[in-house]
Amino acid sequence: MILTLEDLRGVGRWAADCAERVLPLFETKVPSDPRPSEAIEGIREFARGGKRTARLRTVALAALAAAREAGDEAAGAAARAAGCAASSAYTHPLPAAHHAKHVLAPAAYAAQARELAANDPNAGDEEIRWAIEHASSEVRAVVQKWPARGPGRGRFNALLYQLDAELRR
């Protein structure tokens, strides 16, 4: 299996778009913490042709730390979406279904953030539909390089499964 830098840049653009949609859920709860927005800007820079730098890895990890510290489940999921978006530049081309999670996680965490904020699972389904509608052919091709995901357990895994299945159609 091969993932080119262009594959990862295409995924990064989509991942940033997915994460940015829920960034206000974090910023409303923790307005003084720039880490998730810095992660989104980092992956956007990479997607525009920038290099995978130590700074990109640092901002990805910082956004994930912000998720743990947010003190609000919806805000935490939104920050995880941003951290995973930045991390997508480092996706490994290993032929196992769980590696597709690196590509799918930003959209799934965005959906989870919407659900938690609205206390409504339909909000997550709507976010998944948006992600599917806005996935480029590059994103779909990258997802199809891995084996299909199974449904797993729990709502987050259900969101990943739904997204994976729809992107393969």
- pLDDT digits 0-9 by tens, 31-53: 999 999 999 999 999 999 999 99
Q: What is the pTM of this model?
A: 0.96
Looking at residues 90-118, what average pLDDT do you find? 90
pLDDT at 137 over 90: yes
Report the number of distinct structural domains present in the chain. Answer: 1
pLDDT at 2: 86
CA distance readout (Å), 116 to 6, 10, 78, 98: 33, 28, 10, 24
Range of the domain at 79: 5-167
